[in-house]
Amino acid sequence: MRVNFLWGSLMRITFIGGGNMASALIGGMLKRGAIAADIAVVELQADGRDRLAREFGVRAVEALDASAAGCDLLVLAVKPQQMREVCASIAPLIDGQTVLSIAAGLRASDIGRWLGGRARMVRAMPNTPALIGRGVTGLYADASVGAAERARAEELLSAVGRTVWVDDEKLIDAVTAVSGSGPAYVFYFIEAMVRGGEALGLTADQARELAIATFTGASALAAQSPESPATLRERVTSKGGTTEAALKSMNADAVGDAIVRALAAAAARGAELGDQLGAA
């Protein structure tokens, strides 16, 4: 579901961590009408603070202070391995804020526990196309999060692409498997197509351009068409033709089944990481 906000609501947002995804979100918000003065970023590295202030005009500080903590939405944009320590440092300033985590693997309940149980938790799984405003994010909110807080979270993530809500946090592992890790699968397939094109005599540049344009064009067609991907595939598969020959080869190698198994492996690893990172 795509929500077409024009940033009409006043919303103060503080980011803990000013890396690539935080920068993408800040840039997307500003393009859609957010006010830089309403955005603060806690970033430990001095050069990072300088870059954020210079590039976006936001307030960049070394540690969470009362001003930055007094926000409508606090976004945890640090690495999963850093989260517990970060939560311990900011917990004294948490008092009922809506906290959104974009850290992979970590469950909302564990982060909320590290914050002293005083936060309303939203968990999000964006993907890397968000860096160019073409991402998709899966979202889950715990029972303490109301409609207004959900809308704020969605407004933020919709600044860099589409959003999809799930009503069971376990499904975030499935989101991670499909879309969070998904760009890597696409790149993997493109790599294989480029290798195949080169083996057939194309130059690397020619094969790369053909493969990438095919992916972007076919994806756009699938997004705009009311028909299923299966129907679209059937329409370009002439009996006895070249596409049928390629698909028969893939089916003989069980490529489709291998992809389904790969997603299951990714989801299982996501659940495993949640257990490991959230322990104790």
Residues β-bridged to residue 59: 40
Domain that includes residue 63, residue range: 13-174
The pLDDT value given to residue 127: 96
The pLDDT value given to residue 21: 95
Does one domain contain both 71 and 154?
yes
The pLDDT value given to residue 279: 81
**Identity at 187, one-letter amino acid code:** F
**CATH number, domain at 225?**
1.10.3730.10
Residues β-bridged to residue 162: 136
Query: Which of residues 121, 154, 174 is at a domain's end?
Result: 174
Does one domain contain both 255 and 224?
yes
**CATH number, domain at 125?**
3.40.50.720
| pLDDT at residue 55 is higher than 80 | yes
Does one domain contain both 101 and 224?
no
pLDDT digits (tens, 9 = 90+) for 96-135: 999 999 998 999 999 999 999 999 999 999 999 999 999 9
Residue 278 CA to residue 98 CA, distance in Å, equals 20
Query: Which of residues 148, 174, 200 is at a domain's end?
Result: 174
The pLDDT value given to residue 9: 54
Whether 1 is in a domain gets the answer no
| pLDDT at residue 269 is higher than 60 | yes
Query: Which of residues 124, 140, 174 is at a domain's end?
Result: 174
Residue 106 CA to residue 94 CA, distance in Å, equals 19
The pLDDT value given to residue 10: 63
pLDDT digits (tens, 9 = 90+) for 232-245: 999 999 999 999 99
From first CA to last CA, the distance across the chain in angstroms is 36
